[in-house]
């Protein structure tokens, strides 16, 4: 059915209205390579797309090789729904992922793979798996402690051990008529309090791990997160580049259970580390939070701090992975090793919606497979598309990775040249490969009222995006949680001419900001 102007807007009506105020409510009717097309008087108007599906299009829109593969799958009657059967193609995806990851990480430890449908879902699978692992470890610890209590009871009963005042003090217990019962009650009270604590996560300030119930609590932006705080486990957020803060938070939250042992005829209280934290989630290059790159030094500090408390690291490569930064995993470029990895976006080749969560074998809990599933995950169609994408990335000895790296250098050089010409407007260029950001100086004290107000409302980047689309037919967005930063995530097909076009467009908007021409910029 065709929509008519008289039809009420029911699909996210407020978002639609807001998009129209900045001129971004364009309907695209066709997409190819780095170009999206809209219709103007029946004629197609091309728009150069640097948003790249928020990083979902490493090989561009409707890549012919991927589309041909998809057509062949559909023509061949690909069984999209064949749940609870053999999925050799899913295993092929897992094998291909392992081969690539082993090469990049220099390890041969296998990673088990759980499939999902979106980025947030992959992170939620990681969150759930890490919690299952924590719960099972706590269960085991609880069983050990219970066995020790029985041993202590027996030793006291047969007179080979006695309860000392020191043990009672360590358990916060008062010596009553029966010192053993007093000690056991003290220990039980202490342990019950620790065991009742909900799990805690660690994440970085500026992080974005999704907007579902669990993952949104690990997303730093309070606007997304705060209203839903009561629905899921919480995170402590560590400022980027501040390992001492990470140490302080770990120290602040640490907890111990009390264990009992008999030594030299005395019952002693021994503290045992209690796993307060469930996992540390991080993006090696933050996308939505402003294209913030984690350094190798900070990565190492995190790795070390987590190893010290046996805390698994979940590396969210949903945006930075799949070759975008010149390697399959951006984290491999800084020598960071994850216990878990999550991938989505470009894994679906720009046409399928699929995601994966990988867990290294030494952490893997096979019980997870019985408690986590999705109707749509691991289907024949999206697995075969993912396989095709992985094959294309790996072709010609990894030409796609090299291309992403080289094009990223060209794009960075162009952005740096713009910054050099407009140092009063452009604050910084950040990122790696084809995941780049350009931050504008704050305009909230600008001389033009329109620009000032737009900046104060946090919409500068959106007004700039509207201007770039309207005046230069270039599509890019600010990183939503850092609205002064534009991000550029084109495909590996980006040409010199397309890089030039972005350069001219950016120079255009920089002039508008330098001249404080609010009318020309437009905006909210």
**Which stretches of the chain bind ligand F0G, using CB under 6 A?**
54, 118-120, 123, 208-210, 283, 287-288, 316, 318-319, 344, 480
Nearest distance, CB of residue 216 and ligand F0G, angstroms? 10
Query: Which lies closer to ligand F0G via its Cβ, residue 93 or residue 120?
Result: 120
Query: Which lies closer to ligand F0G via its Cβ, residue 283 or residue 339?
Result: 283
93 φ, ψ (degrees, to nearest 5):
-65, -45
Nearest distance, CB of residue 285 and ligand F0G, angstroms? 9
Query: Which lies closer to ligand F0G via its Cβ, residue 259 or residue 283?
Result: 283
Contacts of 128 (CB under 8 A, 6+ apart): 214, 368, 371, 372
Nearest distance, CB of residue 515 and ligand F0G, angstroms? 30
Burial 234-255 (b: 16+ CB within 10 A, else e): ebbbbebeebeebeebbeeeee
User: Torsion angle of alpha carbons 476, 206, 422, 36, nearest 10°?
Assistant: -10
Rounded distance between C-alpha atoms, residue 108 and residue 523, angstroms: 52
Q: 474-475 and 43-49: which strand pairing?
A: parallel
C-alpha Rg value of the chain to the nearest Å: 27
Nearest distance, CB of residue 179 and ligand F0G, angstroms? 54
Nearest distance, CB of residue 257 and ligand F0G, angstroms? 34
Tokens of 206: 């500026």
Place of tokens 């400022």: 239
Nearest distance, CB of residue 472 and ligand F0G, angstroms? 22
Nearest distance, CB of residue 209 and ligand F0G, angstroms? 5
HEC string of 242-280?
A: CHHHHHHHHHHHCEEEEEEEEECCEEEEEEEEECCEEEE
Query: Which lies closer to ligand F0G via its Cβ, residue 118 or residue 217?
Result: 118
Question: Cα 439–442–444 angle (5° rounding)?
Answer: 150
Rounded distance between C-alpha atoms, residue 62 and residue 56, angstroms: 11
């Amino acid at each position: 059915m065709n929509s008519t102007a008289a039809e009420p807007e029911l699909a996210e009506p407020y978002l639609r209205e807001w998009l129209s105020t900045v001129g971004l409510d364009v309907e695209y009717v066709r997409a190819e390579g780095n170009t999206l097309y809209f219709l103007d008087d029946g004629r197609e108007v091309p728009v150069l797309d640097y948003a790249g599906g928020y990083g979902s299009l490493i090989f561009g829109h409707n890549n012919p090789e991927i589309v041909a593969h998809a057509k062949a799958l559909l023509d061949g009657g690909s069984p999209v729904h064949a749940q609870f059967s053999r999925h050799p193609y899913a295993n092929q995806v897992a094998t291909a992922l392992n081969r690539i990851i082993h090469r990049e990480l220099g390890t041969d430890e296998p990673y088990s793979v759980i499939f999902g449908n979106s980025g947030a879902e992959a992170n939620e699978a990681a969150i759930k798996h890490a919690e299952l692992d924590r719960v099972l470890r706590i269960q085991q610890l609880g069983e050990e402690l219970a066995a020790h209590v029985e041993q202590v009871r027996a030793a006291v009963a047969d007179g080979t051990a006695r309860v000392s005042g020191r043990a009672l003090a360590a358990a916060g217990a008062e010596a009553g008529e029966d010192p053993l019962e007093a000690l056991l009650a003290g220990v039980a009270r202490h342990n019950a309090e620790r065991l009742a604590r909900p799990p805690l996560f660690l994440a970085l300030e500026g992080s974005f791990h999704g907007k579902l119930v669990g993952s949104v609590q690990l997303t730093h932006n309070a606007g997304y997160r705060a209203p839903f705080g009561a629905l899921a486990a919480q995170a402590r957020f560590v400022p980027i580049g501040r390992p001492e803060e990470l140490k302080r938070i770990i120290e602040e939250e640490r907890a111990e259970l009390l264990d009992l042992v008999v030594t030299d005829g005395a019952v002693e209280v021994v503290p045992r580390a209690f796993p307060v934290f469930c996992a540390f989630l991080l993006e090696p290059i933050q996308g939505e939070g402003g294209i913030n790159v984690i350094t190798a030094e900070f990565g190492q500090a995190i790795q070390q701090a987590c190893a010290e408390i046996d805390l698994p690291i979940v590396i969210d490569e949903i945006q930075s992975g799949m070759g975008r930064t010149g390697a399959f995993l951006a984290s491999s470029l800084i020598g960071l090793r994850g216990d878990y990895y999550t991938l989505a976006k470009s894994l679906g080749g720009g046409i399928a919606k699929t995601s994966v969560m990988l867990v290294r074998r030494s952490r893997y809990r096979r019980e997870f497979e019985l408690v986590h599933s999705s109707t749509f995950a691991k289907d024949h169609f999206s697995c075969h598309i993912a396989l095709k994408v992985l094959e294309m990335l790996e072709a010609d000895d990894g030409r796609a990775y090299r291309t992403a790296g080289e094009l990223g250098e060209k794009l960075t050089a162009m952005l740096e040249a713009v910054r050099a010409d407009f140092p009063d407007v452009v604050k910084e260029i950040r990122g790696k490969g084809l995941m780049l950001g350009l931050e504008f100086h704050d305009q909230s004290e600008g001389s033009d009222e329109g620009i000032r107000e737009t900046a104060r409302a946090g919409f500068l980047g959106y007004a700039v995006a509207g201007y770039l689309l309207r005046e230069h037919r270039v599509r890019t967005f600010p990183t939503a949680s850092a609205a002064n930063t534009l991000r550029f995530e084109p495909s590996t097909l980006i040409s010199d001419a397309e890089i030039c076009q972005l350069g001219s467009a950016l120079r255009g908007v920089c002039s508008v900001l330098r001249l404080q021409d609010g009318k020309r910029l437009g905006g909210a």
